[in-house]
């Protein structure tokens, strides 16, 4: 019999990659999904199996981290060997708008899962992974950040996650639970939510290249992040739960990059050079040149002339609406413990991450543009 895993947040970026990874390893995966007015299963549709199939390896349950009765029932029914608590209101800026909900889901939600496992007498059976975050370091007290670096959260999201981190440690110590925190630094992918900075950038650049959008407005261009690929990071989650003893691990690449440099690298991926000028809210990026060979290869010849006409124009601007009341300026992780104890190594570099994201978004936007164009033609035909 393979192991049984329960993933909260299975419809999110990490949940989708983790489900795929565990199914390939022979697990039966149960996932908790919130009810929404649409399916919202795009990221896991390729794994979905009809409920009438016997011996399914992916089973979805309706649930919510704010509903303890529901969580307790599902955990009791599933009897998981491993629980990955990935569900959260995960957007830092949005947490300033919804602080109470964020505290409930991201903070108390963790307690609800730990308590359910304890009350159901599953402590000897169920290992728990808590999705902790480099946002805990916030106003960083040490560079680079490692497991022993003091925390200084800078948003309602990070404060809620701080509770989640410590309640996991407390239940481990108080009740001898196999409960571990992965302190993951930013990780991205083609499945990243569209409002996180990397995906916002790769989508916008793809649209600018295909002449679907003129300009993109950003927030703080100077903050620095340690970006890895989500595919590498879900391997670390699994490895953490395979350890004999529970513990907390930083997962990071050890390389940090500004938002500004990320934007330049993503443009360069399709052969476009941009240069930044000005400061603060007046900062802009201007289109400088196009490498025709790379652009034709990555985007297509038909879009080249339109973009070349725009050389000298501003294509990136700053809008203060994207600034945060308190910002995390710098994150860079030291994953020595994970490398030595888990044998974990990232396979993607920032360059290959950007390549993967750009390739996917260009494809996606071409499809969108084609459908729009096709729709327009059909309308004309009927008029
Ligand atoms: P994500 O794409 O935003 O996915 C979050 C998931 O949580 C979604 O499936 C979402 O469901 C679900 N969810 C939100 N609120 C819920 C609730 N009240 N009850 C049940 N499910 C709920 O996030 P991610 O990037 O995959 O991140 C996974 C986890 O790692 C999160 O806890 C995040 O805070 C943490 N983390 C992420 C990073 C990173 O860089 N990605 C770094 C460190 C830590 P819907 O699909 O219905 O919205
Ligand atoms: O992509 P972000 O929104 O991610 P952030 O705030 O670092 O949080 C992500 O990583 C955390 C791990 O450290 C996770 F715990 C969390 O769940 C989430 O996955 O913003 C990154 C940086 C910030 O400094 C932000 O101010 O990019 C800056 N930024 C600049 N312009 C922008 C924008 N961020 C967004 N979302 N949108 C902008 O237009």
pLDDT tens for each residue of 2-44 = 999 999 999 999 999 999 999 999 999 999 999 999 999 999 9
Ligand 2 neighbours, Cβ below 6 Å, are 90, 92-93, 133-135, 185-186, 195-197, 200, 218-220, 223, 225, 259, 322, 324, 327-328, 331
Residue 375 pLDDT grade (very low, low, confident, very high; cuts 50, 70, 90): low
Specify the pTM.
0.97
In whole angstroms, give the CA distance from residue 233 to residue 347: 10
How many angstroms does the Cα of residue 14 sit away from the middle of ligand 1? 8
What average pLDDT does this structure show over 332-354?
A: 98
How many angstroms does the Cα of residue 65 sit away from the middle of ligand 2? 23
In whole angstroms, give the CA distance from residue 4 to residue 31: 11
Ligand number nearest CA of 283 is 2
How many angstroms does the Cα of residue 10 sit away from the middle of ligand 1? 8
Half-sphere exposure of 281 (CA within 13 A, CB side): 5
**By the 8 A CB rule, do 227 and 257 touch?**
yes
First to last CA, the chain: 61
What is the average pLDDT value for the chain, to the nearest integer? 96
In whole angstroms, give the CA distance from residue 86 to residue 36: 18
Please list the active-site residues: 133, 135, 157
| pLDDT for residue 106 | 99
**257-258 and 187-188 as β-strands: parallel, antiparallel, unpaired?**
unpaired
**By the 8 A CB rule, do 201 and 361 touch?**
no
Asked if the model's pLDDT at residue 248 lies above 90, the reply is yes
What average pLDDT does this structure show over 107-134?
A: 99
What lies within 8 Å, CB to CB, of 97 at 6+ separation is none
Q: What are the tens digits of pLDDT across the range 270-279?
A: 999 999 999 9
Pocket-testing residue among 106, 134, 145, 225, ligand 2, by greatest number of atoms within 8 A of Cβ:
225
Asked if the model's pLDDT at residue 144 lies above 50, the reply is yes
Q: Locate the ligand 2 atom nearest the alpha carbon of residue 331 and give its number.
A: 13
**What residue has token string 């896991």?**
44
| pLDDT for residue 380 | 46
Asked if the model's pLDDT at residue 165 lies above 70, the reply is yes
Q: Is the minimum distance from the CB of 89 to ligand 1 under 6 angstroms?
A: yes
Pocket-testing residue among 17, 86, 162, 230, ligand 1, by greatest number of atoms within 8 A of Cβ:
86
């Amino acid at each position: 019999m393979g192991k049984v895993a329960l993933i909260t947040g299975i419809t999110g970026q990490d949940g989708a990659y983790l489900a795929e990874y565990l199914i390939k390893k022979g697990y039966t995966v149960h996932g908790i999904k919130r009810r929404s007015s649409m399916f919202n299963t795009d990221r896991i549709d390729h794994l979905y199996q009809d409920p009438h199939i016997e011996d399914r390896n992916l089973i979805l349950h309706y649930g919510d981290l704010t509903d303890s009765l529901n969580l307790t029932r599902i955990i009791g029914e599933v009897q998981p060997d491993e629980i990955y608590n990935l569900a959260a209101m995960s957007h830092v800026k949005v947490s300033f708008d919804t602080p109470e909900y964020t505290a409930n889901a991201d903070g108390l939600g963790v307690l609800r899962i730990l308590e359910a496992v304890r009350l159901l007498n599953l402590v000897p059976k169920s290992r728990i992974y808590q999705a902790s975050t480099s946002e805990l370091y916030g106003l960083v007290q040490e560079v680079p950040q490692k497991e022993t670096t003091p925390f200084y959260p800078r948003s309602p999201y990070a404060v809620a996650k701080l509770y989640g981190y410590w309640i996991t440690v407390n239940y481990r110590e108080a009740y001898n639970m196999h409960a571990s925190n992965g302190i993951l630094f930013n990780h991205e992918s083609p499945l990243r939510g569209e409002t996180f900075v990397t995906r916002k950038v790769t989508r916008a650049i793809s649209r600018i290249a295909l002449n679907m959008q003129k300009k993109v407005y950003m927030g703080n261009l100077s903050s620095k992040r340690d970006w890895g690929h989500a595919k590498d990071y879900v391997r670390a989650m699994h490895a953490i739960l395979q350890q004999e003893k529970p513990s907390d691990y930083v997962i990071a690449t050890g390389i940090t990059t500004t938002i500004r440099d990320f934007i330049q690298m993503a443009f360069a991926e399709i052969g476009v050079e941009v240069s930044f000028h000005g400061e603060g809210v007046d900062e802009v990026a201007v289109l400088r040149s196009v490498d025709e060979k790379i652009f034709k290869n990555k985007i297509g010849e038909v879009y080249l002339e339109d973009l070349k006409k725009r050389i000298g124009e501003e294509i990136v601007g700053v809008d203060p609406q994207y600034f945060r009341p308190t910002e995390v300026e710098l994150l860079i992780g030291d994953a020595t413990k994970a490398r030595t104890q888990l044998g974990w190594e990232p396979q993607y570099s920032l360059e290959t991450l950007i390549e993967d994201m750009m390739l996917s978004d260009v494809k996606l936007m071409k499809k969108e543009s084609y459908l729009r164009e096709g729709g327009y033609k059909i309308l004309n035909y009927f008029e």
